Amino acid sequence: MIVRITRLLLLIQLLAGIGIYLLVRSALHVDPPALAGALSLAVILLVRLIITANNFALAWRYRSETPVHYRIGWWQACKLFLGEYRATMTASSWTMPFRTFSRYDATHPSGLPVLLIHGYGCNSGYWHPMSKALRAADITHHAIDMEPVIGSIDDYVPLIHRAVERLCQEARQDRIVIVAHSMGGLAARAYLRDHGCRRIAKLITLGTPHHGTALAHFGVGVNTHQMRWTATEQEGLASEWLRKLAASEDPSCYRLFVSIYSHQDNIISPQRSSHLEGAKNIEFHAVGHVALGIDPRVQAQVVQEIRSAATPVSLAAASA
């Protein structure tokens, strides 16, 4: 569904660009045609830039206090913004609509196999940059597409369960590592709630709103209601679904969690929502939400965490 949605949005942008081009040529009498085309493209890119800027503005409104040593200056803020803009443009205009990702099976795998779980409004195409890092590290990794896009997070659990069992069987391992971005981390937690942590050696989440995000109020779908964080004059309150999830989890599974997040996340706000008590929390700065899967520092940390998971033990060896 995301493929169709992103392609439709690109078509709308193309038609808008053609309309702007005709307007510039006929009404404003801009010549030569190349200049009119450049102006129409600039307008489309500017609109996309404004959308990214709006996300940062909303995240700033609901932000958590940034520790002193994670604060950034204007130059880093500009790099942060442009990096996130590039990441969103690449994902929404190229990888998600045209390059969904399924799997990579390493010839000589290093470490446990990995299941990649995308976040809200995305599909497996999001993982192409991370896949390059995992390929370079000789790590087998598969990805899934979670549908329906605006459904309940609980409805993704059977899909994750099938993917986990299939990956264990095909890789001949009794456990795997999950790497999940944003809402994907909550879907992975729901899977562990229902099926336990027997199959999971480690769960690595990237920018997951473990306690909700205020920006979910501006989204569409049951899953956005489940991810909401509401600010009051006295305190912030996670959604009822998130509170029930935390109450129903096995606390012993938290030792398997690694939560990686950025103090300048432009979608998860307050940013400290990604801090999960009982888990290993790894903090970054000057990285946007979509850019978490692209940033080389984050990729290196993910590879390190995968390699530090339990030594692979094949199903065949375990049963011998």
Nearest residue to 175 (alpha-carbon basis) of 108, 112, 223 = 112
pLDDT at 236: 84
Residue 300, domain CATH: 3.40.50.1820
Residue-number span of the structural domain to which 302 is assigned: 1-312
Contact 79, 291 (CB under 8 A): no
- Determine, yes or no, domain membership for 318: no
Dist CA 169 CA 140 (whole Å): 13
**Tens place of pLDDT per residue across the chain (320 aa):** 899 999 999 999 999 999 999 998 888 877 888 999 999 999 999 999 999 999 999 999 999 999 999 999 999 999 999 999 999 999 999 999 999 999 999 999 989 999 999 999 999 999 999 999 999 999 999 999 999 999 999 999 999 999 999 999 999 999 999 999 999 999 999 999 999 999 999 999 999 999 999 999 999 999 999 999 998 655 789 999 999 999 999 988 999 999 999 999 999 999 999 999 999 999 999 999 999 999 999 999 999 999 999 665 444 344 33
- Determine, yes or no, domain membership for 36: yes
Enumerate residues 6+ apart whose C-beta is below 8 A from 290. 84, 87, 88, 91, 126, 267
Distance between the two ends of the chain, CA-based, in angstroms? 44
Dist CA 295 CA 28 (whole Å): 42
Domain count, the chain: 1
**Single-letter amino acid, residue 139:** I
- Determine, yes or no, domain membership for 319: no
What is the DSSP code string of 61-122?
HTPPPPPGGG---HHHHHHHHHHHHHHHHHIIIIIHHH----EE--SS--SS-EEEE--TT-
- Determine, yes or no, domain membership for 218: yes
Enumerate residues 6+ apart whose C-beta is below 8 A from 85. 48, 49, 52
pTM of the model: 0.94
- Determine, yes or no, domain membership for 178: yes
- Determine, yes or no, domain membership for 75: yes
- Determine, yes or no, domain membership for 245: yes
pLDDT at 319: 36
- Determine, yes or no, domain membership for 317: no
Enumerate residues 6+ apart whose C-beta is below 8 A from 133. 296, 299, 300, 302, 303
